[in-house]
Amino acid sequence: GNSVTQMEGPVTLSEEAFLTINCTYTATGYPSLFWYVQYPGEGLQLLLKATKADDKGSNKGFEATYRKETTSFHLEKGSVQVSDSAVYFCALKGSTDKLIFGTGTRLQVFP
């Protein structure tokens, strides 16, 4: 069945550092891919999405490219801020309409 694998956290960075959070997936067909963010004490918010191969999703300085050849959707940001500290979830949604999440990666950014 479909699945999502994320790098384990926590990821600890200094402010203005470059961020990469790896995400790979297993799926039949052509799923849609998503990154969600959960700030402390809050629900999940959609951060960005990509619906087909080579699409790049972007929002708030974050980017991720749908790579079918490597079945990956890595999240990147060029310069992180303390306010980016949160848990990031990679997810996919295939033809079955089931929304499947990775285990989440906690990001901690220090000034």
Q: Give 43-51 contacts, CB < 8 A, sequence gap 24+.
A: 44/89, 47/75, 47/88
- Using rule CB under 8 A, residue 42 touches another protein: yes
Among residue numbers 56 through 95, which ones bind another protein (CB under 8 A)? 89, 93-95
Cβ neighbours of 77 (radius 10 Å):
20
What is residue 44's three-state secondary structure?
strand
Which CB atom, from 29 or from 111, has the smaller least distance to another protein? 29
Which residue of 20, 53, 79, 99 would you call a contact of another protein, by CB under 8 A? 99
Where do contacts with another protein occur on this chain (CB under 8 A)?
A: 31-32, 34, 36, 42-46, 49, 51, 89, 93-104
